[in-house]
Amino acid sequence: MSVDIAFVGDTLLQLLRALPTTLLLFAASVAIGTLLALLLVWMRVCEVAVLRHLARSYIFLFRGSPLLIQMFLLYYGLSQFPEVRQSPFWPVLRDPLSCAVIALALCTAGYMAEIFRGGLLAVPPQQIEAARAAGMSGGLLARRIIIPIALRSCLPAYSTEIILMMKATSLASLVTVYEVSGVAQRIIAETYRTLEVFLCAALIYLVLNFLIVRTLAWVEQRLSPRQPVTASPTTKKYALSVRRG
Amino acid sequence: MIDLIGFGAKGWGSVLLMAALMTVLVTLAALLVGAVLGALVAAAKLHPSGLLRALGDGYTTVFRGIPELLVIYLFFYGGSALVSSVGGLFGAEGFISMPAFLVGALAVGVVSGAYQAEVYRGAFQAVSRSELEAAKAIGMPLMLRFRRIVAPQILRFALPGIGGVWQITLKDSALISVTGLVELMRASRVAAASTGQFVLFFMTGCALYLVLTGISNLVFSRAELRVGRTFRRS
Amino acid sequence: MNNNKTRFAACSLMLLMTSVSLTTHAKEWDSIQIATEGVYEPWNRTLPDGSFDGFEPEMAKVLCERMKARCTIVAQDWDGLIPGLKAGKFDVVMDALAISPERRKVIDFSRPYTKAPATFIALQSSAIDLGSGTLQLQGNPERDTPAVEALRERLKGKLIGIVTGTVYSKFIRDQFGQVATIREYKTPPEPLMDLKNGRVDVVFEDLGFLSGELQRGSDSGLVLVGPAINGPIWGEGEAFGIRPGEAALKAKLDAAIDSLIADGTISQLSRKWFKHDFTPPSQ
């Protein structure tokens, strides 16, 4: 099995040119998804029953169906309606990249909302009682007690979700976005040289994955300096059980 | 328009339901492949030998870090060379037909195996050390120890994790549509393309997936309750 | 569900599946498995009960009768047709597969059964004017570039939709990649969908597919624009894809196709499904 260095080099170059798109998809969808998830989790624990049920339905819908079908529904399904095409949202939905970002963000928001809720549930009720007894209430209680503890508890699962989002960006290639997987598949379809192209693309994703895992491990360490930190956050049992749809 | 998803002459209902069944079957097959691989890799990661641990770590890092789509492309496009060479070993002439089902199940199974390895590893580490020590002390042989103590506890601790992996694998099966297997995603796409009714068929496909995940949820919750019955909450 | 039992069951299941599928092909070719896309109307399409019809399945039925072979048609996504063929999942690819030098490097072809030109399609309301008539291109970049100069001018800044991995996508990317934005899709209905909802300005595909689309959706406001492009650029025509070295199969297919062309069946089927006659010029 001879390795064609020129071909591999050329392939790597083409793939790297698509890398900024992958990174953009990743960063934008994680950012928007996190914000949306915060809103969702607030709705989920809110006293208003309607909001609670809305949030639960949203989470069930987006965690229970494949991202691929959600993306197709958003990209092809919505554009079928003339009302959507004339609405002010159309410039955003028309562009494949922003449409893909929205689909990714909506999906991850569902998972992240559950992760945040898991973090909230992990706050020991004794601490809340003690804080209330000491006179803390409302915003102060949230800021000093609930949020720091919740954040620290859900960080491993949140890291897992972020890594999964990096992989999910590859699905954007199925709605005409030129990101790394899409370019890789195009090269395979035209040159039929699967292994070399696959290795190049896999290498890029593994390097990205490594960088993200290291960054998240550093963040984890900064937030909890006294606890030993593992670089593979998914060994925590509840990280996996929280992913159940 | 409703008759399009019905069971009449123009109705795609039966195709969609058969495809949903195919989705479940291929997910099951992938999970089994992943169970075998995951158990092996978990064993490797728990082994005293540094080399085996490194291999196990490599497997999980690679297959949890690369997009599933790429893995499916690899198995699918690159399958021909492998199949021919394996066939050559067995002395088969010409080409060996490999069902699309097998390719899809293998590809998704290999990825699922990486996740399952982590689940089994965590479950194994949660097995009560004191019980194992006591068993060794009264002279229980290795296989009996495994059968009476380790295996039931691994099952108990791994079940939530496996439930999560099942959900993930179920959704990853949608990507197998690229290999031509008529599972739910492909059926929805073909029906949508044939009739031009994209929203109708994608929403129907989505609804069927929700039904599948909902049923899976129920099944796993029940299973967890049953298996956890005899365990003390220590 | 005991872990041990699961492992044993899994192993035996896999062994069973592998052994069951270890079939080698009959050298006499009395049973042939054909793969097609099923979403490339009117070349091939899928019916609600899962069977296929269209120009190619109908042609295949007649062909197999002439070849005295039992043919089964299976579906496969476009980008999996050639890999699946090479992996031995089926024997023949039948999906308006144009003979091209790149494809010849990896697979073999039967003789062509059609030779369809390709052209652009756009929304009538967009009033795009790309010229008309026919254009013969050689497939040679130096010779072709001046010929499409006028097209390039008119397509400047437009969005063109094509399907990946076709001979057309390479042409569009090479000639218009610099002046227009290209969107690549995985299945043929998708660029048309995006054309209708305004995401792309124009789609480039073969005339058979486009005229089928116009027949079906007479109210969609689509219209063919631009010249019909044909010539050696698309190779000798559309043919069956087969694995390299399958001389016996090729001979059988060629003989059958020859007879179908000779007695006018191809011409008749072509006019039925495409409203045009795509019989290949005599070789």
Touching chains, C (3+ CB pairs < 8 A): A, B
Res. B200 pLDDT band, cuts 50 70 90:
confident
- Give the separation between CA C95 and CA C57, rounded to whole angstroms: 10
Q: Tell me, what amino acid is at A3?
A: V
Subunits close to A (at least 3 CB pairs below 8 A): B, C
Quick: pLDDT tens for A110-132.
999 988 888 888 888 888 888 88
Q: Residue B122: pLDDT band by 50, 70, 90 thresholds?
A: confident
The DSSP-derived string for C167-189 is: HHHHHHHHHHTTTSEEEEESSTH
Position B93 scores a pLDDT of 44
Distance CA A5, CA A9 (A): 6
What interface predicted TM-score (ipTM) does this complex get?
A: 0.78
What is d(CA C278, CA C283) in angstroms, rounded to the nearest whole number? 14
Average pLDDT over residues B62-85: 78
Q: Please report the pLDDT score of residue C16 as a whole number.
A: 55
B212 close to B170: Cβ distance less than 8 angstroms: yes
pLDDT, position C15: 56
Angstrom distances, CA of residue B199 to CA of B2, B7, B17, C104? 12, 19, 18, 39
Residue B7's pLDDT band (cuts 50, 70, 90): low
Q: Which residue has the higher pLDDT, B214 or B79?
A: B214
Band of the pLDDT at A144, cuts 50, 70, 90? Answer: confident
A-chain CB neighbours of C102 within 8 Å are 190-191
Average pLDDT of chain A? 84
Nearest Cα residue in chain C from B84: C87
d(CA C39, CA C45): 5
Confidence (pLDDT) at B211: 94
Is the predicted pLDDT of residue B96 greater than 70, yes or no? no
Asked if C190 lies within 8 A of A185 by C-beta distance, the reply is no
- pLDDT for residue A225: 59
Per the model's pLDDT, the better-predicted residue between A154 and A15 turns out to be A15
Q: Do C79 and A85 touch (CB under 8 A)?
A: no
DSSP state letter for C202: E
Sequence-distant (≥ 6) Cβ neighbours of residue A161 within 8 angstroms: A108, A111, A112, A115
Average pLDDT over residues B92-108: 68
pLDDT exceeds cutoff 60 at B161: yes
**Cross-strand pairs, A200:** none
- Bridge partners of residue C134, in order along the sequence: C228
Q: What band does B29 get if pLDDT is binned at 50, 70 and 90?
A: very high
CB–CB contact B80 C87 (8 Å): yes
> Residues B190-203: what's their mean pLDDT?
82
Task: Select the residue of B69, B74, B163 nearest A244 (Cβ to Cβ).
Answer: B163
Of A158, A141, A120, A148, which is closest to residue A30 (Cα–Cα)? A158
Q: Which residues of chain C does A85 touch, with a Cβ-Cβ cutoff of 8 Å? A: 197-198
pLDDT beneath 70, residues of chain C:
1-6, 8-28, 218-219, 283
Evaluate if residue A163 carries a pLDDT over 80: yes
Q: Is A17 on the interface with C (CB under 8 A)?
A: no
Do the bridges between strand C181-185 and strand C222-230 make them parallel or antiparallel, or are there none, so unpaired? unpaired
**Which residue is listed with tokens 């793969």?**
C35
Q: Pick the residue from chain A with its C-alpha nearest to B164.
A: A244
CB of C276 closer than 8 Å to CB of C207: yes
Q: Which residues contact A242 (CB under 8 A, 6 or more apart)?
A: A114, A115, A118, A157, B164
B76 contact C CB<8A:
yes
pLDDT of residue B83: 60
- As a whole number of angstroms, the distance between CA B210 and CA B193 comes to 22
Q: Rounded to an integer, what distance in angstroms lies between the CA atom of residue B154 and that of residue B149? A: 9
Contact A114, A144 (CB under 8 A): no
Residue of chain A with shortest Cα separation from B207: A65
Q: Name the pLDDT band for B8 (thresholds 50, 70, 90).
A: low
Helix (DSSP H) and strand (DSSP E) numbers for chain A: 12, 0
Distance CA C111, CA C259 (A): 12
- CA A118 to CA A123: how far, in whole Å? 9
Three-state DSSP state, B78: coil
* pLDDT tens digits, one per residue of A210-240: 999 889 888 888 876 565 545 444 444 444 4
User: Tokens 């939905």 belong to which residue?
Assistant: A93
**Which pLDDT band, with edges at 50, 70 and 90, does A104 fall under?**
very high
How far apart CA B114 and CA B59 sit, in angstroms, is 7
Range scoring the smallest mean pLDDT among A71-80, B193-202, C233-242: B193-202
pTM comes to 0.82
Amino acid at residue number C185? Y
